[in-house]
Every structure is written in structure tokens, then in C-alpha cells.
Structure 1
Amino acid sequence: MVPLDPIPRPIDHVLAGRPDAPALRDRAGTMTFAEVEAEVARLAGWLAGQGFAAGDRIATWLPKTREACLMPLAAPRAGLVHVPINPLLKRAQVGHILADSGARLLLTQEARAATLEASDRGDAAIVTATGEGDALPPSSDDPQALAAILYTSGSTGRPKGVMLSHANLWLGANSVAHYLALEPHDIVLGVLPLSFDYGQNQLFSTWAAGACVAPLDYLTARDVIKAVERTDATTLAGVPPLWVQLLETEWPEAARHALRRLTNSGGALTVRIVHALRERFPAADLYPMYGLTEAFRSTYLPPALVDAHPESIGRAIPHAEIMLVRPDGTPAGAGEPGELVHAGPLVAQGYWRDPARTAARFRPAPAFSRFGGTAVWSGDTAVADEAGLLRFVGRDDEMIKSAGNRISPGEIEEAVVAGGEAHEAVAVGVPDARLGQAIVVVARGDAAAEPALRDRLKRDLPNFMQPARIAWRDDLPRNANGKLDRAAIAASVRVEETS
């Protein structure tokens, strides 16, 4: 197991595994740690020869090519700030990120570059290939220096950039490698976008453990299953919508039993999904987790506790302090809802060039915090039990206020999918003259099963939590990180309600 290390270092120091051990495996072959280190050094040297000033932003808009995997280390090694752009984004979103970050260079592919108009490029030079440069040694920068800007998906508005230091990235990698008990023999299948903090950390935490990552771009759940077989992956990370798709697809026995570790973040797992994953992958440890880009990761539930607490998101990860806070700033008691507040060295440096939103989210830690300093006030509500295990309740801006009740959409959604009539569901509050808000559930599944679903919900939920309407869809929209796009779903429902 990787030992906990509270001392921050430059992020490119994660390449300290055995030189001859495999570090990166893709369809082109396998690169050892020594080969990855040499290529990072070459890329950093090429960047250093381009005449950029220290702290300039360097963007990449690529699928999971080798350069996309190595640039998160090469740019900071050259004293620059890496800005990864999700390859699923389109020109308007890419143009916003380039302009907002003030990127000086965009590394992309010719087909992608051709979609950009002159006004999209801002000050960025567009290149589709890297050149040669003198190899740079590992960075000696201040660990508190800015290393990356990760842009959120922007489902509720234009993407905003979260500023991450070397220390944020290094300590996050150390924390995850430690509590996941990653070992040098592990092979981590990297299916998540590298622009997503969860996906980027898979690179860093895998390498911090001296293990091998196998990056994958995929179209279907079947692609993921085939990649597990092809790479002999031991570890697979996902978000809830991906797990739903993977559970709907047949798995060969060899692939099911090869996996030793499943991790989830980007949304709470339902109890039904937890039970289904435990049944489908009996040899794998399951790690439910909770995180937010502004502090990377906050909690995890040890696998030994999953069967007894399938609804829990666990406790604080190493290097993090997690508090539940009442509106008056005092700690919430056991069983009492509170805002989840994250303090400690994983807290990001704020939003890039956005002091107003930074001040709203990054505020002084509560007086009872042991870390103190700046904390991330998540806006998420959670409850802790007597043992300190947390259960996610919902976001304050997503809570449904109906007939004087504050209702968690997640509680309704879990009840809807529990019986199998619906595969996925999103609960939305819509204006109602009598109730304040009425509940509409948007579901993917068999509309003919609605009577059975209604009967079950009447047994399982109180009257004030019953949906006024169930809107059936063949598919539900997702954002660029693979999560259900709750904002788009809510907007479509509200349009229907007013039409």
C-alpha cells in the first residue's frame, strides 16, 4: 500500500515508479515509467522552447492520446498551467475556455482545429503536433504554484475554471493511491475524461502507486467490457449512469472476475445499483465516493462497510477534513442535515478570474475546523449517523419544496428505480399554485410499467413525495463527463409544463 505522505511535491514527481515497470498501456503498446518520464521531459522541453512566460496557460483538446495523458505533467514541468478540454465539447464551449483561460497554445487534431472559427481561438496558437526540445528534469517549482485549470461541465451555465496547484494534485494522488490500496501490479482502465478531476486523478494516483493505466475512449458499454478483457484491468472507475449501462450489458465470466476494484463518484449510487454491482462483481471491492472539483475528493466508504451501509458515501478521505454545518455555523449533530464543508490541503485555489464566485464558494472554514483557513462550502446537504458515516441528501439548489416539505430528489429517484420498472430517473420540482412545487419524474424505462410503478411508490413513499407526473424517455441527456445532465432535464420539463 502507498504510505500517506503529507508533504506536497511538484505533480510530475509521480513518475517515480520502477523504471522498467509498465506505466501506460494503449493500442500502440506499453510504455514503461522510464519511457513515460523521457517523453514528459521531451514535451516539457518543447514547451519551454516556445517562448511562453511562466504561468502561461497551455490547452489540450484531444482524445486519450499519449500526448493527452502526458501533457498534464509536461506543462507544469515547464512552469506552465495545463488546461485540458473535454474532447466531447463543441467549438462554442472550446472558444469560451480558450478565451476565459487566456490560453497561449491549443494542442489538438486537424479535424478539431478545422471546426474553430477565428473568433474562437483568442490568443491561442493552434498546433496539431509537437516538436523537439531539450529534455527538462523534474520540476523544482513551489508546490503551491498553479499547475492546472479544470473547467466544470457548465450544465448550469458557461464552464468555470477551477485552479489547482501542484500540491492539490500531488496530495490528491497520494490520498487516493493510499485508500484504494493500489499496488504496482494493478492495471487501471481509464474510461473517464482527462478533463474531469476524477479522470485526471486516475493517471496521477495510478502512477503514484507505481501501477499501469490503460486509457480508453469508448462509445458503448460493450467497448468498456472488451477493454477490461483486453487489458486485464483490475480497477474500473465510473459515474452512476455508466454503471447502469454496464449492468444492462452481459459480461464474460473472465472479465467479471478479473476486476478487483470498482470506484464511483460524480453522483451517489442508489442502493439498487450497489446491490447489483456486488452481485455482478463478487470478487471486486466497491468504493462509493463523493467529490467536487473545487476540492477534488471528499469522502469514501471502505469496501468492508458497503454491504451494511449501501446508502453511505463514507467518511473523509486522507488529507481532507469534512464537516456538516448548520446555517448558524455550528456543527450538525448525528441525524441532523447540514451543509457539507471541506477544509484542508485539497481545497483548490478558487475560480480562475472569477472573484465573485470564488468568494461565494471558497469561504473561511467554520470556527470548529481543525485545519482552518479557506474551506469549500459545497452547497450540498448530507447527514451523518452515530458512527460518523455520511449519507448524501442533495444540493440545496435541487431540493424540491412541496407543500411545506423539503424533499431530496435523490430519495425519490432511488425509490423509482428500486423496482426495475425504470432504469434511470431524475426528479424535478415545477411551479404549482397549490403546492409551491409539484414533483415530475423523468424516467428511462418501460412506460407500460407505470401502473405497477405507481402502485409501488404509493407503498414506498409518503403522499407528499408522490410524483404528479412521470415523463418517459428513450434516453436521458448526459453532460461531457458522463453524468446525467440534470439542468437540461429540468429545463425540458419546465418547457413541457408551460407549453
Structure 2
Amino acid sequence: MRVETFLRQSAATGPDRIAIVADGARLSYAELDAKSDRLAAALAAEGVSRGDRVVVFMENVWETAVAIFAVLKAGAVFCPVNPQLKTDGVGLILRDCRPSAVLTQEKFLDVCARASSDLLSPLLLIAARATGALPADVLAFEALIADDGSGVLPEAGGEDDLAMIIYTSGSTGRPKGVMMTHASMDAASSSIASYLENTAEDIVLGVLPLSFTYGLYQLLVAVRVGARLVLEKNFAFPHAILEKARAEGVTGLPLVPTIAAMLLSMKDLAPSPLPALRYLTNAAAPLPPAHVEGLQKLFPGAKLYCMYGLTECARAAYLPPEELDRRPGSVGQAIPGTQAVVLDEAGQLVGPGTVGELVVRGPHLMRGYWENPEATDAVLRPGPKPGEKQLYTGDLFRTDADGFLYFVSRKDDMLKIKGEKVAPRQVEAALCECPGVVEAVAFGRPDPILGLALHAAVVVSDPAPTEREIIRHCARILPDFMVPKSIEFRAELPKTASGKVLRRLAVEAGE
């Protein structure tokens, strides 16, 4: 199924249902469908053709949802770009994917102009939310979605067409464009909707950026099942956002560890602040066990789904909520319709407790990295069946006796301390179990005696533990070689917009 069909079907079965709530606006499914139709026709009239790339450089506003589905209806490929990126970051993506158009907001026009100054081909710019007259070479989003009845939609393509190129965060190097087909996004969204048991009655709070996979799939899954998505630009004002979520009757709350930490640090927040909440999800980075316990107490009537995903396949594993207490720290097993196994360096299955690389198979995998065959071949390798590809994630995992998965570390993050291999994630989980520690990052620094010594940086709440108290806490529950030599106190840790701690920047900030 093509992704825009999600919207077609939901608009046909529930035209008056509210699809998007954002900035005081409430769009029904019929309105979302009609507005994206008109924008798609306008894009086609302006020369956007099947297979063209169209950058969507917007915040979490209702126009973003219209833009995404319009690009797909025009037969083109949407490229969501993080609105926090500056000129250099945007320019890198524009030069890489060579879009025919950019859909953005007036506030980002200067960035777009500077970022596109060295492009060889002219760029169609369409801006939303204009507060005054737009430059002569920029089209007004609002004018293009006006209903004049003259637009003609191009013929639909096939489900094997590219639907999206989404760029990795670049936290470990140059960002790569992940190519996703309609079929792979259909498979991923169907699987997610099935295990979360999403229906048209769900109301999901979307505070995660639509420019990142985790946030984007809140939109895709909601539209697929005909649910409502309540969009917020971020979680900077938690009290106000929770009040709105309560008023809307939110049933689904996707979060990342940063949001979990903010919720758990709100001293005046009583249990069950969202009475209608049915479930919470976590992805992007693992939740420390202490946060899991805290969220269960804060939202006692809601199910918590701990998940593991990556841009190259959206989701790979989830832990059924009923397994949370029995398998602390696990991200579960492969999502429905897929496979996830742990292999050694020879490509053989490892036994329970043995660390290896997680390898994922299924219809939800990316096609590859945009115009980067070497990087593609490094991670998409032949699978057990003829013609099949499997994704080597670069993440180290182990399993328990029942095959449930436990994240250990990124391959590149493993440290050698006192002759022992140390996974920073295990140290960070222990640190977050210390009362008063909200967030933590563990890392190695050169040491004249040890070669490499383990250190940590933490964000704490009030009352704050001392460095000695934190180290003594770690010494009680960790082997000696995993106890940090020192603790640095930070006001915050540097993160990507999707909530992942930028370990390299966290280390550099303390140097």
C-alpha cells in the first residue's frame, strides 16, 4: 500500500473525525485530504515530477502533515529536515538530495536562501505562516491550498517507489540519506499499529519532531488507523502541554528518556495526570530501569512499551508491557512480521548472555543510503534466503534464555577499562538508579596509569547527591572496573532533537 492511501482511506471512512490538532487549529480527515490534494496538484503544476525530492523543513505544525501527504500524492519523495539545523546542515542535505522544491515556514526562508546559494538548479520555495508579503520568488503555502477546483493530481505510482529520504542524525559522522519505499513504510506502520493496538479512538500526543523517524511514525500510524494527533513543537513547557493533553483526552504518550526525566522531576505532579492515557512508548534511547519504575508509578493505569528502533527500519523490537517487571532492561523481541537475531562476527547465532551484533530482517528495511552504495553494502548484507537482505545495526545486544533482547552498546561506544570491556549504557543505568540523578553519560578519558579511565557526567535534581554519594552508590552495584573515577555535574547534556545524548559532545563539554 502507498502511504498516501492511509489518508485516503481514513478520510473516506471518517471524514469528520479530527486528524490533527495544532496551534489552535483542528483539521478533520476530510480537510487534511483536501488540502494535501490541492497542494499536490500545485506542486505538479509547478513542475514537481514523480521521483523528485521535496524537502519538508518545518516544525510540528499542521502544515507539515499537509506537506508530507501532498508530496506523496504528487508522486515525489519527501525529505524531512530537522528545523533546528542551521545553514551548513541544511545546505549539506540540499546538495546531497538535490530537491526540486522546499516546503518551509517564513521564519526559515533566510536559512533556506543561504543554504541553497550554491545549488546548480533553481529551487522552488513554498513558505507557510507568512506574516507579511513574501519575496517574489517564494510561493505562499496558504494560496496553494486554497480551493479553486482547478488542480489536477498526477497518476499514482507503485508501492515500490521511494516515499522518503530521511537523514541520520550524523552524531557518529556525516549524515546519510536513508531511502524508504512506500512498501517498507506500510509494513513498519502496520506492525507498530498492531502491537500498540491503535484504533480510530486513540488520541496521541506528538511532541517528538516529525523530522525524525520516531516522531514521524506517530503521524503515519495515527493517519493509518484514523486516530487524532495532537501536535506540540517540543516539551519545553511540560505543565502547559500536560494540561492540553488532559483536555484533549490523550490516550497515547510517546516519549524519550529526556521527557521521562522531566516528568519524573516534576515534584507537584500527582499520579495519573492524564486520566485517559492508555499507553506510553519509549524509543530513540533506552530508558534507565529507575525511569521505568518511576513512569509506572506516575501512570499506573497505562501500559509502557519499551522499544528499540533505528532510522534504517523505524522499529526493530518492542517489549510487551506485561514483561516489564520480569525482564528489566529488555527491549523485547522483533516487532510483528519481522525477525531480529544476535550474531557473532562470523555471522552465527550466539547463545543466551553472549554479546553480538543485532541483525534485522523483514519488509520494513530501508532500500539503502541515497547515492552511497559503499555504506549501503556495509549494513545491508545477504540474508538466509535468496535475494534477501538483512540489516546489520552496529548495535551490540545479548538475549536471555527466552530470546528477549537487551541493548548493550553501540559497537563504537565500547570502552576498555582496566583490561575489561565496559558498555557505557550499563554504567549509565546504574547511575540513574542513584536517588537524585536524572540523566547520565559515561565515557572514557586518557589516563597516564590506566590508559583509559572511566568518568561520568550527570544531571541531578534537588536534593542533589554529592560526587562521593554517587560513586559509593555505583561501587555497591557495579564491579570495580565499571565504577566511574569522577563525576561531573552538568545543567544539561547535549542531545539530538530526537533525544539521544551526543556522547562526543558531552565529553568535549567537560574538557
TM-score category of the 2 structures, normalised to the smaller one: over 0.9
Q: Would the alpha carbon gap of residues 448 and 206 (structure 1) be closer, same or farther in structure 2, given more than 3 Å must change?
A: closer
The residue number in structure 2 matching 1:50 is 46
Which amino acid in structure 2 is aligned with residue 239 of structure 1? V
- Tell me which residue corresponds to 1:95: 91
Q: Distance in 1 between matches of 2:319 and 2:332?
A: 4
Matched with 1:258 is 276
Per the alignment, residue 11 of structure 1 pairs with 3
1:169 to 1:138, Cα distance in 2 relative to 1, 3 A: farther
Instruction: Select the residue among 220, 224, 227 that pairs with 2:241.
Output: 224
CA 1:252–1:477 in structure 2 vs 1: closer, same or farther (change >3 Å)?
A: same
Are 1:40 and 2:57 an aligned pair? no
* Aligned-residue offset at 1:254: 6.2
Identity of aligned residues (%): 36
Does the 8 Å CA contact 1:257/1:284 hold for their aligned counterparts? no
2:487 is aligned with 1:484: no
Letter in 2 for 1:279: K
Partner of 1:316: 334
- Residue 233 of structure 1 pairs with residue 245 of structure 2: no
Structure 1 match to 2:490: 473
Q: Work out whether residues 427 and 441 of structure 1, in 8 Å CA contact, stay in contact via their aligned partners in 2.
A: yes
1:28-63, Cα deviation, whole Å (9 max, x unpaired): 332222222112211111111111232111112111
Instruction: Give 1:143's aligned residue.
Output: 159
8 Å contact from structure 1 (residues 60, 107) kept in 2: yes
- What secondary structure is seen at the aligned counterpart in 2 of 1:205? helix
1:271 aligns with 2:321: no
- Which deviations, in whole Å up to 9, do the C-alpha atoms of 1:67-125 show, x marking residues without a partner? 21122221121111101111111121111111111011112222211234545342423
Q: Does 1:127 align with 2:126?
A: yes
Alpha-carbon spacing, 1:253–1:425, altered in 2? closer, same or farther (3 Å): closer
Q: Which moved more, 1:432-441 or 1:282-291?
A: 432-441
* Aligned partners of 1:324 and 1:341 also within 8 Å: yes
Q: Is the 8 A contact 1:77 1:136 kept in 2?
A: no
Aligned to 2:215: 199
TM-score w.r.t. length of structure 2: 0.90
Q: Tell me the distance in 2 between the aligned counterparts of 1:139 and 1:267.
A: 40
Cα deviation for residue 217 of structure 1 reads 0.9
Conservation of the 8 A alpha-carbon contact between 1:247 and 1:277: yes
Superposed CA RMSD: 2.0
Matched, 1:407 2:406: no
Taking the TM superposition and a 5 Å limit, the aligned residue runs for 1:204-215 are 204-215=220-231
Conserved in 2, the CA contact under 8 Å of 1:421 and 1:450?
Answer: no
Correspondence 1:176 to 2:192: yes
Confirm or deny: 8 A CA contact 1:421 1:453 kept in the other structure.
no
Q: 1:400 to 1:229 in 2, by over 3 A?
A: same
Q: Does 1:378 align with 2:407?
A: no
Letter in 2 for 1:344: G
Alignment partner of 1:331 out of 341, 346, 349: 349
Q: Distance in 1 between matches of 2:156 and 2:350?
A: 42
Cα distance between partner residues in 1 of 2:51 and 2:310: 25
Aligned match of 1:4:
none
Q: Equivalent residue of 1:459, what SS?
A: helix
Contact persistence 2:333–2:405 (CA under 8 A): yes
Segments of structure 1 that go 5 or more residues without pairing to the other structure are 1-8
1:156-209 residue CA offsets vs partner (Å, 9 max, x unmatched)? 233221111111111111111111001211101111111111111111111212
Classify 1:267/1:119 alpha carbon distance in 2 versus 1 (closer, same or farther; 3 Å): closer
Shift in CA distance, 53/438, structure 1 to aligned 2, threshold 3 Å: same
Q: How does 1:272-351 map to 2 (within 5 A)?
A: 272-351=290-369
Paired positions, count: 483
The verdict on how the C-alpha distance between 1:285 and 1:417 changes in structure 2, with shifts beyond 3 A counting, is: same
